[in-house]
Amino acid sequence: MPKKKLSDIVFQRISPPDYKQQVEIEDLSKVLVKRLGLKRKEGRADHSKLLQELIKYRKDNIPVTFEEISRILGVSQSQTYEELRKWRTLGLIEFVKIPVGNDLSKGYMLTGNTVNRLLDKVESNTKAFLRKTRRIAKDFDDLLMLEMARKDKSMKAESAEKAEDVPERPEKMLEDDSDVSDEPDKDNSNEDEDIGSEDDDETDMKEDKEL
């Protein structure tokens, strides 16, 4: 039995032909299977025909065998597995066992007797997928916000540590510097005084000689 893979859901924007004066059931069937992503590219698999046939079997409550589905699609049985997986992913078809007398009739059957009922299944499966995705997205957002908050807090702490490591010049040191800057002036003034006194002594000695 083909497994369901949500990655198989591919919707396409296809509309009924507007160039025809009267749209027939075949036209609408082709549009539906393309819009639902059952037929995604041109190939041998006739999903339009399969849709019409499965609806008829569904109204008669007759399961369709895998071999019959392969015949309707017009492809090999190995390819039929891949084609049926698209139907099962959307919830359009299921494997059933229906009692027939003392025996069981086994096969595949649509999950609704009209296309509108089938679309209800598609909508339900898609919403379930989106709900689970939303829960994952919420966990992602919570973890991302927490990580960003931690990084921001760490950066603020590092900035505060760097600010504390910068040495501050105390006021006393500034006062000492001012005193030191004044000392050379005092020394110079004393030297000037000493030099002046030596000049006076020389003058006195000359005067004494003359006398």
Q: What percent of the chain has pLDDT above 90?
A: 37
When pLDDT is cut at 50, 70 and 90, the band that residue 195 belongs to is: very low
pLDDT in tens, 38-54: 887 777 889 999 999 99
**Integer angstrom CA distances of residue 145 from 150, 151, 154, 155:** 9, 10, 14, 15
Domains in the chain and their CATH numbers?
A: 6-127 (1.10.10)
Separation between Cα atoms, residue 73 and residue 102, nearest integer Å: 31
Judged against a pLDDT cut of 90, whether residue 140 lies above it is answered with yes
Q: Which of 8-22, 142-156, 169-183, 184-198 has the highest mean pLDDT?
A: 142-156
Separation between Cα atoms, residue 156 and residue 163, nearest integer Å: 11
Q: Are 75 and 47 in contact (CB under 8 A)?
A: no
Separation between Cα atoms, residue 35 and residue 28, nearest integer Å: 10
pLDDT in tens, 50-109: 999 999 999 999 999 999 999 999 999 999 998 898 899 888 999 999 988 888 999 999
Q: Reduced to 3 states, what is the DSSP secondary structure of residue 82? A: helix
When pLDDT is cut at 50, 70 and 90, the band that residue 145 belongs to is: very high
Judged against a pLDDT cut of 50, whether residue 180 lies above it is answered with no
